[in-house]
Structure 1
Amino acid sequence: MARFLLRRLVTSVVVLAGLAVVTFLMTQVLPGDPARSAAGRNATAEQVARIRVQLGLDQPMWNQFTGYLNRLLHGDLGTSVFTQRPVLDDIGAMLPSSVELVLAAMTINIVVAVPLGVYSAYRRGRTTDVAARLVTLFGAAVPVFWLGLMLQLVFAAQLKVLPLTGQLAFGQEVPKITGMTSVDALLGGDLPAFGDALLHLALPAVTLAASFVAVVARTVRSSMITALDSDYIALARATGASELRVVVRHGLRNALVPASTILGMQLGWMLGSTVLVESIFGRTGIGAYAVTAVLQNDLYAVIGTVLVIGVVFVVANIAVDLVQLWLNPRLRQRSRRTASPETPAGPVVPTVPEVIA
Structure 2
Amino acid sequence: MAVNRFLNLKMDTRQELQEIAELVAEICNTPAALITVMGHDTKYIKFTSANYNDDESHIWEDSFCAFLIKSAKELIVSDALLDKRFANNPAVTNAPHVRFYAGVPLTTHDGHSLGSLCILDTKPRQLSDSQLHLLKVLAKRIVLITEFDFSLNIMKEQYLEAKSSEMKLRSFFESSGSCHVLLGREMEILAFNKNMADFIEKMHYVSLSIGINICQILKDKHLETFKADYKKALNGKTVEFEREVNYRGELIWWHVIFEPQYDQQRNIIGVSYNATDITEQKQYEQQILAQNESLKKIAYVQSHELRRPVASIMGLMEIIKNENYKPAREELMMMEKAVQELDERIRNIVSMTCNKVHQKNAAELYPTLKKSS
Same fold (TM over 0.5): no
Give the TM-score of the pair, scaled to structure 1.
0.19
Give the TM-score of the pair, scaled to structure 2.
0.18
Higher helix proportion, which one?
1
Higher strand proportion, which one?
2
Q: Which structure's CA Rg is the greater one? A: 2
- Structure number with greater CO (CA < 8 Å, separation at least 6) is 1
